[in-house]
Chain A
């Protein structure tokens, strides 16, 4: 158990809908990262937050947004969902930017 929690574990929704994925980092970790793992693209970095502020952006679509709250948990919002958004979404946390990351169990999103 990495100490990073993600909810929900599984999510099935329809095209065009909006969902929110939640992540709680390990105690004491200030950095939160979001990653997407799809069959065709593999693992890709989406976005990073550090102590409530957005720090870095990767391949995140404009339909996706995220935030980190004062208690350091983070949410990833996915809107206008398309079939291609079906993937595993991982959250990871670390004590500092570029420190060792610890991964949550992931949320499996299926868009039908």
Chain B
């Protein structure tokens, strides 16, 4: 199926630092979703974006739906130890293509916080 390019693959940061990660594709999406997955648990929805240009916050998290509809970013401000985990993006393709009704996942960003 269609791939989303998620970067970086991993991040090693100090507690208190800000974090930024993004997903890009050559295809157009009409929905972007961001998830956090803790070890051994299912992904939990952080932010959902439905309109190009939309900027949405959830506490210290902020995500934006790119104006071209081909990308999205997630920022975490003032990281804390419980932010450790894997962050996934997911996009819903606009139009035909892709797997499972056009839903496509990035491979994840591993966030590691050093004390």
Q: Is B truly associated with A? A: no
